[in-house]
Amino acid sequence: MTLLDKDGVRLTVDDAVATVTLANASKRNAQSPAMWRALAEAGQLLPGTVRVVLLRGEGQSFSAGLDRQAFTPGGFDGEPSFLDLARGSDAELDGVIAEYQEAFTWWRRNDIVSIAAVQGHAIGAGFQLALACDLRICADDVQFAMRETSLGLVPDLTGTHPLLGLVGYGRALEICATGRYIHAPEAERTGIANLVVPAAELDAAATDLAAALLAAPRDALIETKGLLRDAPGRSYEEQRAAERAAQARRLRDLAGLTD
């Protein structure tokens, strides 16, 4: 069932699995504010029955990053150019960037597990969109790069936090500051990729992982994801307490003692 198909984003749902497809292959799925709004809308449209969300890009590249038209004086039709945005007040500029970030924030919510199936180029905003997901399965031709700094910008689409968590401060700084490519072997070695497979097997591998995730009871997975996601902000003792509370909820639920 197709729930959304606009601005280079298509959302389909098959029972407990939703698929979000970047569908602008002719531009290597380059991103724009309209695409970001559509991605945010896709998150809002997910039925409550969905447990796993697959994110994929049509064509040879997952996403080549921000559409360079954004840097032209005219920008995109019907959109303020980046130059126009820069002339706004601090509050206005902050609000616009916060709106753009909404496309990247919902993938880690506790009631779903998100999987990015990444092939070819995942550059800048494309890299950050892959990092927004819980898990990444990559084709052996994948090429990640964080190019914002080379353009005089910073990665502002929520990518810095997950990148730091995956590879550590020193490597994250070096990746962002140099803008160099990260190929499949390094992506797998550093944890950016959970799994690397031949390009022809990418879709099948993502589907297999979705099926494996669906095998676990939903509430147990939700609780486990919440424990792991929030652990970095807790002390050891706080995490122990969170584990006890989560397990108590699970035991009462399994015993039929919850409302």
* Domains of the chain listed by start with CATH number: 2-214 (3.90.226.10), 218-254 (no CATH)
pLDDT of the residue at 258:
79
Contact 143/119 with Cβ under 8 angstroms? no
As a whole number of angstroms, the distance between CA 201 and CA 152 comes to 37
| pLDDT tens per residue, range 225-237 | 999 999 999 999 9
| Residue 132, number of CB atoms within 10 A of its CB | 23
Tell me the pTM: 0.95
| Residue 247, number of CB atoms within 10 A of its CB | 12
The tokens describing 91, both together, are 């509050």
Phi-psi label, residue 135: left if phi above 0, alpha if psi -120 to 50, beta otherwise? beta
pLDDT of the residue at 69:
82
As a whole number of angstroms, the distance between CA 47 and CA 77 comes to 32
pLDDT of the residue at 82:
79
Q: Which residues of the chain have pLDDT under 70?
A: none
pLDDT of the residue at 81:
79
pLDDT of the residue at 73:
74
Contact 213/113 with Cβ under 8 angstroms? yes
